[in-house]
């Protein structure tokens, strides 16, 4: 089926009824969680208690079945991740995403991909489709660096003007607190979803500080240590962390914002004994998605995917030195 537009995606959502069984699949960062919660609330308003599934490359169980559902909503999962979902293609499926079209998604999906319009995070798209909790849509957009792209400026600025808050204050009092809460519950995404879906206003976000504050303290520690502990791989910086909380995303976001021209690869141990990778380059002058692909060449059970400016992946711990050498070889080409 050909790609669809905004109005057709909206029509799909309008046709959800209380008779439907709906699954929601979303990415594991704030952009994905915001999208998932907005879809969840949309379904709830139509009498549907949808079931959500949090996707990430490292932990996804490819035996997960969606056969019991009539309709499936997918947000913020790159095309390369869709193949891991093992979707039942005889169902009605709405797929919306903003990642590069590195590969085709199944033609059976109703596919609303915004990448051709510019860098529009999925939480903005879903927020505009549902018109629910605009503050959450804006938080997800900013968390995914949407504020660095002019196409989102009016969307963000109009809302901040409406609530009388600066971008820095919103990032500090809303986006960072929610992001840290997701980190706190990294090993229990269902718990994070249950807590966050009950937050209905900016004022209620203060309830999350008990989760956010211990994470924030650790984030700041590793941000401060970056300059002294980064490793040079040619013109690429590699920063290995071994924190108590899974703080890769907030640390990567802060450091890459502070060093927009640097290409940085963050490496952090994962629960299964593997290493999680995160590549960042806010200037978008270097394709970190390609850099990570070059880094994992020849490595067993390695995965990667993402954007030009932000990408993630996974390698086995034993392959770290080979990964580094692959990066050095690529830089020297």
The model's confidence at residue 249, banded by pLDDT at 50, 70 and 90, is: confident
- SS3 category, 218: helix
Mean pLDDT for 111-134 is: 96
Q: Does 18 score more than 70 pLDDT?
A: yes
Q: Which residues pair with 264 in a beta bridge?
A: 237, 280
The answer to whether residue 177 scores a pLDDT higher than 70 is yes
| Residue pointed to by tokens 């997701």 | 182
Other Cβ atoms less than 10 A from the Cβ of 4: the count is 19
Q: Does residue 308 or residue 167 have the better pLDDT?
A: 167
Structure confidence at residue 36 (pLDDT): 98
List the end-to-end C-alpha distance of the chain, in Å, as a whole number.
Answer: 41
Q: For residue 122, what is the enclosing H or E element?
A: helix 122-130
Give the model confidence (pLDDT) of 308-317 as tens digits.
888 889 999 9
Residue 261 CA: distances (Å) to CA of 50, 143, 283, 299, 304? 42, 19, 5, 28, 22
Measured distance CA(43)–CA(65) in Å, rounded: 20
**Average confidence (pLDDT) over 231-243:** 95
Could you give the domains of the chain?
Answer: 6-210 (3.90.1640.30), 230-332 (3.10.310.40)
pLDDT tens-digit series, residues 69-105: 999 999 999 998 998 999 999 999 999 999 988 889 9
Q: Which residues pair with 121 in a beta bridge?
A: none
Do the beta carbons of residue 79 and residue 101 sit within 8 Å? yes
Of all residues in the chain, what percent carry a pLDDT higher than 90?
Answer: 83
Residues 220-229 pLDDT 10s: 999 999 999 9
- Pairwise CA distance, residues 113 & 37, whole Å: 19
DSSP characters over 10-54: HHHHHT--TT--EEEEEESSHHHHHHHHHHHHHHHTTT---EEEE
Query: What average pLDDT does this structure show over 121-150?
Result: 96
Return the pLDDT at 306.
81
Neighbours of 123 (CB within 10 A): 34
Q: Which is nearest to 231 in space by CA: 203, 262, 258, 202?
A: 262
**What's the rounded Cα separation, in Å, for the pair 207 and 204?**
6
d(CA 111, CA 109): 6
How much is the pLDDT for 230? Answer: 97
**Of the candidates 141, 138, 140, which has an alpha carbon nearest to the alpha carbon of residue 165?**
138
Measured in degrees and rounded to the nearest 5, phi and psi for residue 36 equal -65, -40
Token pair recorded at residue 275: 């290493």
The pLDDT of residue 305? 82
CA distance 123 to 210: 25
Is residue 1's pLDDT more than 70? no
Predicted confidence (pLDDT) per residue in 24-66, tens digit: 999 999 999 999 999 999 999 999 999 999 998 767 887 899 9
Q: What is the pLDDT of residue 47?
A: 97
Tokens encoding 21:
């069984």
Among all chains, which residue has been given the structure tokens 């590195």?
A: 102
């Amino acid at each position: 089926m050909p790609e669809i537009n905004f109005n057709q995606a909206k029509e799909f959502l309008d046709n959800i009824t209380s008779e439907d069984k709906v699954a929601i699949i979303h990415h594991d960062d704030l952009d994905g969680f915001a999208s998932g919660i907005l879809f969840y609330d949309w379904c709830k308003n139509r009498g549907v208690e949808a079931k959500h599934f949090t996707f990430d490359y490292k932990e996804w169980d490819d035996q997960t079945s969606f056969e019991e559902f009539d309709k499936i909503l997918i947000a913020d999962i790159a095309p390369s991740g869709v193949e891991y979902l093992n979707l039942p293609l005889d169902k009605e499926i709405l797929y919306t995403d903003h990642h590069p079209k590195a590969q085709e998604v199944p033609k059976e999906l109703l596919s609303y991909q915004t990448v051709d319009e510019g860098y529009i995070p999925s939480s903005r798209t879903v927020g505009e489709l549902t018109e629910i909790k605009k503050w959450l849509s804006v938080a997800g957009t900013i968390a995914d660096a949407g504020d660095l792209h002019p196409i989102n400026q009016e969307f963000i600025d109009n809302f901040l003007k409406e609530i009388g808050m600066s971008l820095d204050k919103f990032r500090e009092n809303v986006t960072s607190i929610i992001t840290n809460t997701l980190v706190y519950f990294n090993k229990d995404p269902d718990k994070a979803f249950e807590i966050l879906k009950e937050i209905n206003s900016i004022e209620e976000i203060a309830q999350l500080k008990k989760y956010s504050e211990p994470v924030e303290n650790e984030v700041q520690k590793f941000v401060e240590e970056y300059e002294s502990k980064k490793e040079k791989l040619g013109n690429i910086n590699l920063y290995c962390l071994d924190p108590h909380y899974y703080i890769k995303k907030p640390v990567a976001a802060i450091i890459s914002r502070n060093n927009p021209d640097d290409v940085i690869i963050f490496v952090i141990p994962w629960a299964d004994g593997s290493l999680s990778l995160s590549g960042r380059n806010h200037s978008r002058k270097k394709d970190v998605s390609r850099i990570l692909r070059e880094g994992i060449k020849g490595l067993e059970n390695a995965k990667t995917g993402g954007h030009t400016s932000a990408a993630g992946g996974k390698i086995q711990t034993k392959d770290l030195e080979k990964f580094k050498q692959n990066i050095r070889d690529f830089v020297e080409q």
